[in-house]
Amino acid sequence: MSPHKNLLISAIALALSPAALVHAQDTPEATDSDDAKRFDTIMVTATKREQDIRDVPLALTAFTADTMLRQGVTDLTDVGKFVPNMNVTGFSAGHTSSVNPFIRGIGL
């Protein structure tokens, strides 16, 4: 598999997986003194070393499950509407089961 395809597959998996990971984690109950909104830590392993998402020198987009529900995301074509430089086109009209994702012009 070419390096471009590996990068594209990793980017798509990374774009889709944080919402499931954040949804699956237990969050501690908020106290009255905790006024600031807390976010769970997202660890990125696409560069073959574990890093906090804020320290990764790559362009990443992460959504929570609630954000995806509010935006009406139901499939990959909907994700493409909210991720910069991601374009998802269907192979056949009206069928979302076969799509062609492009990230920064590189597609599968």
pLDDT at residue 59 in the model: 74
pLDDT at residue 90 in the model: 72
36 in any annotated domain: no
| Total number of domains in the chain | 1
> Residue-wise pLDDT tens for the chain (108 aa)?
666 666 777 777 666 665 555 555 555 565 544 544 566 776 767 667 777 767 777 777 778 888 889 988 888 778 888 888 888 877 766 666 677 778 777 776
Amino acid at site 39: F
28 in any annotated domain: no
Dump the DSSP string for 2-54: -HHHHHHHHHHHHHHHHHHHHHHS--PPPPTT--SPP----EE-TTSS-EEGG
Domain containing residue 93: 3-23+41-107
pLDDT at residue 35 in the model: 45
48 in any annotated domain: yes
Instruction: Report the alpha-carbon distance of residue 31 to residue 53 in Å, rounded.
Output: 26
100 in any annotated domain: yes
